[in-house]
């Protein structure tokens, strides 16, 4: 589904990703771990198409298309979803309106009829349960005045509604208490299907107690320095990152 080959990306003069290669198949969950500043969030943003990063070489193939050729909105319409580390506030625009606008853009892209607010209510009602959110949240402005946990849950709600093929969760666990973490993780698990894939970007292992990855990759200094199965995450939790980093600097 996703094939990243020798990807290099920079912000201004500074190269952050220095040759990433990664293949993700349908039905898989990949965890990308690594110390702060290793390039994890950059990778997530580049996949989603953030204009602040310049891809200097390498390629990303998604569903047989050149992903880098697509605008961010076209990627979203094609089924790529980024759950933001810091969800953005849009005052005065209700969550319900925003979600329906996004939902309809994706339907339009697939030549499906748009839903009116009444029809959309039914879609919402079911999805709200996935993240244990109250319907009153839909009438509040997008993320404005939300607590950290509410913002993250709202991201997962959007993911539930938009039903992406490829979901990238960028540090979705950061700032969550244990209950919120459970709700978010269960939400992600409920949304798992054989034809979609998830990339979980995280600093800590604890999220992976709830979302069991098929593959774990360690990113440091803009490169994947180690890949393995779910046991790698436990090893990292026990030993930290240093034992992996030393050979790189030596």
User: Which one of 48, 166, 183, 200 is in contact with other proteins (CB under 8 A)?
Assistant: 48
The answer to whether 201 and 41 have CB atoms below 8 angstroms apart is yes
The answer to whether 204 and 186 have CB atoms below 8 angstroms apart is no
- Pick 71 or 122: Cβ nearer other proteins: 71
Contact string (CB under 8 A) for other proteins, positions 53-92, x = contact: ------------------xxx-xxx---xx-x--xx-xxx
Our finding on whether 115 is near other proteins (CB under 8 A) is no
Residues 13-42, interacting with other proteins (CB under 8 A): none
d(CA 152, CA 132): 12
Residue listed under structure tokens 């319900």: 96
User: Which one of 59, 141, 174, 209 is in contact with other proteins (CB under 8 A)?
Assistant: 141
Helix (H, G, I), strand (E, B) or coil at 123: helix
Nearest distance, CB of residue 63 and other proteins, angstroms: 16
- Pick 7 or 96: Cβ nearer other proteins: 96
Residues 219-248, interacting with other proteins (CB under 8 A): none
Number of residues that bind other proteins (CB under 8 A): 34
User: Which one of 2, 20, 46, 106 is in contact with other proteins (CB under 8 A)?
Assistant: 106
User: Which one of 5, 10, 59, 94 is in contact with other proteins (CB under 8 A)?
Assistant: 94
Residues 149-208, interacting with other proteins (CB under 8 A): 158, 162
| Alpha-helical segments (H) within the chain | 40-48, 72-77, 95-109, 117-130, 148-162, 178-190, 231-239, 242-249
Distance between alpha carbon 187 and the CA centroid of its chain, in Å? 13
If DSSP states are collapsed to H, E and C, what string results for 175-187?
Answer: CCCHHHHHHHHHH
The answer to whether 172 and 182 have CB atoms below 8 angstroms apart is no
Angle at 130 between CA 129 and CA 131, to 5 degrees: 90
Instruction: Quickly count helices (H) and strands (E) in the chain.
Output: 8, 12
Nearest distance, CB of residue 139 and other proteins, angstroms: 8
- Pick 143 or 202: Cβ nearer other proteins: 143
User: Which one of 55, 109, 115, 128 is in contact with other proteins (CB under 8 A)?
Assistant: 109
d(CA 230, CA 110): 36
| Residue ranges that bind other proteins, judged by CB under 8 A | 48-52, 71-73, 75-77, 81-82, 84, 87-88, 90-94, 96-98, 101-102, 105-106, 109, 117, 139, 141, 158, 162
């Amino acid at each position: 589904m996703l094939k990243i080959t020798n990807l290099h990306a920079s912000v201004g003069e500074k190269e952050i990703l220095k040759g990433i290669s990664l293949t993700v198949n349908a039905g898989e969950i990949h965890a990308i771990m690594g110390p702060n500043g290793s390039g994890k969030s950059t990778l997530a943003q580049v996949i989603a198409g953030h204009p602040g990063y310049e891809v200097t070489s390498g390629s990303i193939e998604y569903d047989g298309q050149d992903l880098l050729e697509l605008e961010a909105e076209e990627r979203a319409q094609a089924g790529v979803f980024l759950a933001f580390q810091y969800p953005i506030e849009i005052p005065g625009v209700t969550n319900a309106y925003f979600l329906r606008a996004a939902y309809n853009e994706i339907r339009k892209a697939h030549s499906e009829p748009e839903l009116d607010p009444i029809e959309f209510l039914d879609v919402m009602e079911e999805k709200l349960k996935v993240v244990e959110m109250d319907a009153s949240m839909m009438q509040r402005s997008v993320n404005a005045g939300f607590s950290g946990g509410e913002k993250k849950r709202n991201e997962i709600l959007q993911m539930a509604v938009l039903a992406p093929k490829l979901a990238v969760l960028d540090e979705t666990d950061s700032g969550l208490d244990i209950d919120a973490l459970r709700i978010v993780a269960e939400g992600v698990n409920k949304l798992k299907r054989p034809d979609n894939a998830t990339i979980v970007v995280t600093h800590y292992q604890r999220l992976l107690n709830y979302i069991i990855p098929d593959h774990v990759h360690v990113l440091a200094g803009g490169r994947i320095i180690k890949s393995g199965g779910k046991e790698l995450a436990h090893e990292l939790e026990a030993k930290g990152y240093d034992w992996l980093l030393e050979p790189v600097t030596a």
